[in-house]
Amino acid sequence: LVLGLKGYVGYLGIVSLNTAMNELQLSRVALEPPKAIADFAFSPEYDKDTLQWCIFMMVGLLVYIADTQFWFSLGCSVLGLLVGCSHKGWKLSALICEDDVANIPKRFAVKALGIRDREEGKRKFLLLWSKVVQHMRYEDLVWGRNVANLTAASAGNWSWEDFQSPINTRDHPRLPQFFEEVSACDRCISGAARSETHTTDAVHRCALLGRDLSNETMPVPCRIPFVPGLTVLIPHFAESIILRWEEDLMKQSHGDTIPLMDWLEYRYRDQFSIFLERHPMSRSFSNRGTEWQSYRREEKGKIAIWASMVSQTLFRTVAGIELFDRALEFLRQVSAEEVARSPFRAFAERWQVEEAFTCLVAMQLYAYDSTFDKENLRQTNMMLEKFWISLKIAYIDFEDRDQDEEGAKLDGIHPKQARRYYSCRIDKHCRLRPDGRRDPTFRIEMPGYPILGNGKGDNQNHAIIFSRGEIIQAIDANQGAYLEQALLLPCVLAEFRDVPGKNDGHKKIVGFPEHITSDFGSVGDFAAGSEYVFGTNSQRSYSVLGGRMHYGHPDMMHKGCMMMQGGISKATRSLHLSEDIFAGKDFTLRGNGRTIKHSEYFHLAKGRDMGFNSVMAFFSKLSTGTAEQSTSRQNLRLGKMLWLPELMTFYYAHVGYYLTQHILSCCVPVLTFLWLLVVLDAPEAGYSSMDPRSQYMSQSSASVMASLLVGQYGYLFVLFLVASAAPLVLETWLQAGFLPAIGRLTKQLLSLSPLHFIFQSKVIGHYISNGVVHGGAKYVSTGRGLPTERKFFIGIKGNQYGLYNDWATIASYDGARLLVGFVLVCLAGGLSVDSKMRSALAFWFLAVALTLLSWLFAPFIFNPHQFNCKFFKEDVKNWRKFFREEGGGSKSQWEVWYTKEQLKPGEGIRSTPAAVIAWAVSVLAFYNIIESKIHALTIVLPDKGEILRKYVLGIFPPVVFAGIYCIFVPVILDCTNRNRTSLLVDSAMVLLCDSIESFIGLWEILALGWWKSALAGIILKYALLSSLLVLMEFSLRLKTKVITADSLRCLVIMRDGLGRWLQAHRMARDVGVSAFIFAFLSVFTLGDYVRRHVFRSSHSLHCWIVYRDWGHPIRIWTAEAEEEEPASQPVEGLSLSHAPSSFSQRQSLLAASVPVEARQLPDRSQSAAPGYPGYQQQQHGGSGGGSHASTPHTTPGYGTTPSTSSWLLQQ
């Protein structure tokens, strides 16, 4: 189907290309009669037509290749939807009307417990469900007042010790109100899950469990204790274990950010309220709300653990994975009676959970004092003591050779090996040393230095020897798990069951989707949506089509198969940057019944990047890793082995996706170039008789190109929008319903998602092309930081660059070229078409506008508080400081940045034949236009000398005046003992010299009124100038210096002058581009200033675009604190860097802002909890995020009284 649609669209594209070339009367290569070739070959017109014909064909091929990925994505979206429906048993009416949550008890008993007796199955489920609710309560996801609606047990405080207590299997709990069936109409109004849980995570988890149990592909579960062994491997390098109070939660690097603790409290408002509810005011916990510094040390430790559980930390990952241990233990307890009646009673009594499950954390830096400090050791020991014996830690230890020289000789250690390395394993029973480390249970010497690759793959592979059981699962340190999902573990392990005569269950990789938890803000939601679609809809279709590989994270693999192919990860530096996918490739290459499956009844939590720069850094890592994959032998062998459908799926699901993104990002500039080329080649106004072919053209060149753009790109843009939105819409429709799907799509469009994804395509294209050509992929640490800090516009601060510096070479320069090209098209008459055709070009104009906005402004649009007036002043200072020299002969920041990041002296010439050909074609295209126009002057000017002079002046690049200035002016200044001019002044002078020289060269053409020829001449001159600048950069990148300090003085002067000439031109480019971007942004900064100081509004459109929140607390008392007193401003949120510091000050300030009717003291006897020390949503002009956008926050026992004011006034 996809190939058929693609063929039809390709046919239409060829027809439109052929029609355009016929209308333009272009000579066709190899299609002219021999006599015509003899008459016109190698004439200016023939050369021009031949080159334009080649350009037309290349552009057509480019567009033809670009849309193939969209057809594939659209086809996979539909296929994934159909496969998802098949997993539900094709019960389409049930997808709409059925209440999955109400069916959880019945389905869980049958599918997860394997019990057909309805009453007994329901009883055992409710016993397990009480533990689930108990753990949700412990995780601060359930209010105390709602526990009774979720389970028959009482609320209580439910400590960690209570959760670990055994299940009373003789209890007969009643079915709670939570599982009563709700009609489809009520669910559409109140949501997919019950509202009693109140927190977004709990709502999603309950609905997720209901959807999982409705899956018809769940295998019969393994009986406890007859389950295969499972090891979950978690590689850890330098990720946070538990967030530290001062260094992480309270740290403020700049005045424009709030402490992380305040941000987490704001983002997870309900969870923190429940946390305070679970810790009422007592001697053990002095509940002080958000007065962080008033807490005692041990209380700060509890808050830090809460903050770690809602962040992407190792502690959260281990706490979730260790629930597998408790899930198996709880399942053993509820099945004890049944097992006691079986013949295997003696085995069941001896069976321990740790025999079937191991959580193995591979801590790469555990043995190194310089990086793994005492606090990390304390947190590691706390994890070992808190969790169960199934938690193990593997690490790499070392000892210097000279500590045991004789032993090294006896063991045959190479004389040049200075250290001996050991793979070690510890657990909670290992002896604790005085330094905080533990004596290992196992210590196995390794054959040499263990880190051969980028680190992660080596870290995983060395720890495999300590894994137990048949199955291994490798996840990242930013994931987590849920108890209700862990109870489905017997079904998951049953996937590897051998079925005689059908399959070898052990020869299998089973993948599962992820619940993305880091969907805060627009960029976080974009990344979460992409990850959500990739882990569900895409994986379903890839699995059916045979193109799915191993992508790490929740995938489970048979350890024996992985060990036979060298481990679960490849670990060669650069080549295996994306280390996990090679496990799937090697697994597929071995064949012999091996299968890779995707199932969707089991989920793990997953944290993703949420900031713009971190998301783009993540895709740059994926792109360079994919580029290295394309050169691997695994890809070559798979290409030879796979059948065509599997091969096409494998290509477009991996390398093809990234290459297509590069081609797509080239489409708009290339089509604009072709448009400009055709328009400038048209006859000059009033001189149409000089081009005989114009007599045979039925329409103008502008109309021909407009028709071509509509036929070639109009459908492509529509296809781009549909193919980009379809996967998310269809998958959300399948999982949550049609209205949530449309709502999420609408919200993404309103928050400018097209700009984000267009920029993402540009970044992917840049890195995949560089990776394929140059190689050298490196691991990029994205940090997965929160989008709370505003990044400065331009400059260098420490080892950080500004936003412009980050993206100038990747997108800003190309955006500026595209803008200039589009403006030249308009000046040359490219829009001189009728109104009907201009309306048909609407999609093309929209595509150009979105591309320009994205490439030039997207990083700044998604930069938090970009338009704040206070930061605008700092940006102005940074801009001036970046380009101006400090004095005393020191270099400017721009010169340091340009030399390090762009020039890179001594790294050698890095270019490709394709880049050289593309540049040559663009130069030759405009050269042929100038040549043909000047050749036509022979009709008017018979003087060949004058024609030659016009010809030379018309094509000669503007290098003479600027070269003289840069070479001789410094010499004159040195001879007269005067200081040299700054580089900023030189850049302005060379720009002036280039303009004057270009005007002189094209003056006579301008005098004739040949504006199109003059524009073509300007483009040609600056294209040749750019070529010379690039050649100059190549010469400076040579590893061997041609001219050294010992050379003749004239050569040294020439070298320094040309270097100054190069730098002056490059600085002029950066000054112009950055000034244009900054000026455009200044307009919106002025609008934000008017909003704040004239209209006194706290509703910021930019804040909604970035955070999906009209008034995020990061803005409070930062922009205006230096200008006005905080007390005179409307209270918008919590205390930040300039907020009142004392508790009494905040109390009086907040009390003054509370309406009179709300200032009533609540009855403390109504609730044991002091309430939530936050703030009203109305006070800061927006909601707290999440599901509380339209309802005010309420506190248990307080009704609708504002919790902040009530609690503060009560104190």
Is 287 in a helix, a strand, or coil? coil
Is 646 in a helix, a strand, or coil? helix
Q: Structure tokens of 1013?
A: 């020829």
With cut-offs at 50, 70 and 90, classify the pLDDT of residue 1047.
low
Per-residue pLDDT at 491: 92
Q: Structure tokens of 971?
A: 């010499």
Nearest Cα to 279, choosing from 270, 288, 269?
Answer: 288
Contact (Cβ atoms closer than 8 angstroms) between residue 194 and residue 180: no
Q: Is the pLDDT of residue 1191 over 50?
A: no
Nearest Cα to 1195, choosing from 134, 140, 143?
Answer: 143
How deeply is 634 buried, as exposed, middle or buried, from its count of CB atoms within 10 A (0-12, 13-18, 19+)?
middle
> Is beta strand 471-474 parallel, antiparallel or unpaired with respect to 556-558?
antiparallel
Residue with tokens 């940006």: 875
Per-residue pLDDT at 233: 92
Q: Structure tokens of 440?
A: 């290992």
Distance CA 191, CA 187 (A): 5
User: Hey, what amino acid is at 1159?
Assistant: R
Q: Structure tokens of 453?
A: 């690759």
With cut-offs at 50, 70 and 90, classify the pLDDT of residue 856.
very high
Q: Which helix (H) or strand (E) is 865 found in, with range?
A: none
More confident residue, 422 or 1: 422
With cut-offs at 50, 70 and 90, classify the pLDDT of residue 949.
low
Q: Is the pLDDT of residue 139 over 70?
A: yes
Kindly report the pTM of this predicted structure.
0.85
> Is beta strand 595-598 parallel, antiparallel or unpaired with respect to 508-511?
parallel
With cut-offs at 50, 70 and 90, classify the pLDDT of residue 424.
very high
With cut-offs at 50, 70 and 90, classify the pLDDT of residue 391.
very high
Share of the chain above pLDDT 90, in %: 15
More confident residue, 68 or 1201: 68
Rama region for 959: left / alpha / beta (φ>0; ψ in -120 to 50; rest)? alpha
Mean pLDDT of 691-698: 63
Mean pLDDT of 47-69: 84
Distance CA 711, CA 14 (A): 10
Complete DSSP assignment for 328-380: HHHHHHHTHHHHHTSTTHHHHHH--GGGTEEEEEEETTTT-TTTS-HHHHHHH
Contact (Cβ atoms closer than 8 angstroms) between residue 444 and residue 573: no
Phi and psi at 514, nearest 5°, equal -125, 150
Q: Is the pLDDT of residue 1120 over 60?
A: no
HSE (side-chain half, CA atoms, 13 Å) at 387: 27
Distance CA 586, CA 575 (A): 15
Cα separations in angstroms, 697 against 88, 688, 692: 60, 11, 10
Nearest Cα to 623, choosing from 581, 577, 667?
Answer: 577
DSSP letter (8 states) at residue 404: G
Q: Is the pLDDT of residue 887 over 70?
A: no
User: Hey, what amino acid is at 810?
Assistant: I
Q: Structure tokens of 2?
A: 């996809």
Per-residue pLDDT at 319: 92
Per-residue pLDDT at 1078: 93
Per-residue pLDDT at 818: 94
Q: Is the Cα torsion angle 148, 153, 154, 155 positive or negative in sign?
A: negative
With cut-offs at 50, 70 and 90, classify the pLDDT of residue 1124.
very low
Nearest Cα to 397, choosing from 412, 428, 430, 419?
Answer: 419
Phi and psi at 296, nearest 5°, equal -80, 170
Q: Is the pLDDT of residue 849 over 70?
A: yes
Peptide bond into 225 cis (omega under 30): yes
Per-residue pLDDT at 1180: 31
Contact (Cβ atoms closer than 8 angstroms) between residue 1096 and residue 1130: yes
Contact (Cβ atoms closer than 8 angstroms) between residue 576 and residue 453: yes
As a whole number of Å, the end-to-end CA separation of the chain is 70
Instruction: Count other C-beta atoms under 10 Å from residue 15's C-beta.
Output: 11
Per-residue pLDDT at 60: 85
Q: What is the 3-state secondary structure (H, E, C) of 279-311?
A: CCCCCCCCCCCCCHHHCCHHHHHHHHHHHHHCC
With cut-offs at 50, 70 and 90, classify the pLDDT of residue 1177.
very low
Q: What is the 3-state secondary structure (H, E, C) of 67-100?
A: CHHHHHHHHHHHHHHHHHHHHCCCCHHHHHHCCC
pLDDT, tens digit, for every residue of 1133-1162? 333 333 333 333 333 333 333 333 333 333
User: Hey, what amino acid is at 339?
Assistant: V
Per-residue pLDDT at 72: 86
Query: Which of 361-375, 383-397, 679-693 ranks highest by mean pLDDT?
Result: 383-397
HSE (side-chain half, CA atoms, 13 Å) at 511: 27
Phi and psi at 29, nearest 5°, equal -65, 130
Q: Structure tokens of 556?
A: 């489970």
Give the lowest-confidence range in 416-420, 628-632, 635-639, 1172-1176.
1172-1176
Per-residue pLDDT at 1065: 93
Contact (Cβ atoms closer than 8 angstroms) between residue 673 and residue 705: no
Q: Structure tokens of 753?
A: 């998602």
With cut-offs at 50, 70 and 90, classify the pLDDT of residue 814.
very high
Is 1108 in a helix, a strand, or coil? coil
Distance CA 1033, CA 984 (A): 19
Residues 6+ apart with CB under 8 A from 21: 28, 53, 56
Give the lowest-confidence range in 384-388, 907-911, 961-965, 1009-1013.
907-911
Residue with tokens 């509004």: 1097
Q: Is the pLDDT of residue 194 over 90?
A: no
Taking all residues of the chain, what is their mean pLDDT, rounded to a whole number?
Answer: 78
Contact (Cβ atoms closer than 8 angstroms) between residue 72 and residue 47: no
